[in-house]
Amino acid sequence: MPGSNVDLAPRVIEMIARELHVDPKVLNLESTFEELDIDSLDGVNILFRLEEEFHIDIPDRLVREATSIGQVVDNLSLALEGKAIVKTEEIS
pLDDT tens digits, 39-86: 888 888 898 999 998 888 887 777 778 899 999 999 888 888 875 544
- Inform me whether the pLDDT recorded for 14 exceeds 90: yes
Q: What is the pTM of this model?
A: 0.78
Active site residue 7: no
Domain ranges of the chain: 2-83
| Weakest mean pLDDT among 1-15, 18-32, 45-59, 64-78 | 1-15
Q: Give the pLDDT confidence score for residue 91 in this predicted structure.
A: 39
Candidate list 7, 23, 37, 39, residue with the active-site label:
39
| CATH class belonging to 2-83 | mainly alpha
Q: Which residues pair with 68 in a beta bridge?
A: 32
pLDDT for residue 92: 39
